[in-house]
Amino acid sequence: MATAVRRRVRPAPVYFVRVGTGRAPISHADYGVDWETMRTIVVDRAYALDYRDAVVVDVGAHKGCFGAFALEQGARAVLSFEPEPTNFDFLELCAAPYRQSGRDWRLHRVAVGGTDGSAELHVMAASWGHALTPPEESGRYQVGVERVRVVAMTDVLAEAAQIARTGPIVVKVNAEGAECSIVLETPFASWESVTEFLAEVHSWAACTADELTAYLSQAGLLVAPQDEADWVLRLSRRPVS
């Protein structure tokens, strides 16, 4: 409420909202999107699970709210991947107080895919809509196209495994339709180090949630109990109690 009042009375390019020991940036230009993102992650706890001592991989990090949430919930390290420059600037703002206090939050201004290379990032008016594989109707929302570097998910998981050693690894993917290539083009062996998998599967993606589930089950990740956020695909290697 205080942020909404400040926005009306004294507008600024960015506002900061307290998230535990840190603070999350809220953009004036994209206020509705950023506030809804924070509500979904921090208030509704759509990605709630046991993060204690986990290395967390955040593919589609947006402006850092999920990374902050994971650290507040006890994550040992966060690896964030976000290719869009403006989002990445806000991600750096969000991560700064955590990094200054010695927390391990690693930022990568790249997209993630099934293989290394480069790709066209379709930039949308709303900051949560940028996509390598946008829906057909995205043309009316698109404001530009940028060439971005893409790193293979195999290498992302190898970096996480090196940090985690024998500890848990949590992977969250919100890649606006690119989740299929990220998962299905990554060998089973790479997924065998992952303890928890969370993903939003978009309606225009080239695969279904069932196809992702079937593929990852071959690496030992099985369907976990769903809560109110049934739009999040949850798979786990931990025994279901």
d(CA 78, CA 170): 9
- What's the pLDDT tens digit per position in 184-241? 999 999 999 999 999 999 999 999 999 999 999 999 999 987 765 678 999 999 765 5
Q: Tell me the residue ranges of DSSP E strands in 42-195.
A: 55-59, 77-81, 104-108, 111-113, 117-124, 142-152, 169-173
Q: How many angstroms from the chain centroid is the CA of residue 113?
A: 14
Query: Does pLDDT of 100 surpass 80?
Result: yes
Q: Which two tokens stand for residue 130?
A: 């940028």
- Please state the pTM of the whole predicted model: 0.92
d(CA 107, CA 110): 9
Q: Please calculate the CA angle 61-62-66 and round it to the nearest 5 degrees.
A: 55
Rounded to the nearest 10°, the torsion over CA 177, 180, 183, 186 is -120
pLDDT-derived band at 4 (thresholds 50, 70, 90) equals: low
pLDDT exceeds cutoff 70 at 8: no
- Model confidence over 58-92: pLDDT tens digits? 999 999 999 999 999 999 999 999 999 999 999 99
Tokens of 3: 């942020």
pLDDT of residue 1: 47
- Measured N-to-C along each axis, helices 65-72 and 85-100 cross at an angle, to the nearest 10 degrees, of 20
Residue pair 125/141 in contact by the 8 Å Cβ criterion? yes
Q: Set out the domains of the chain in order of their start, with CATH numbers.
A: 48-236 (3.40.50.150)
- Give the number of C-alpha atoms closer than 13 A to the C-alpha of residue 41, restricted to the C-beta side: 26
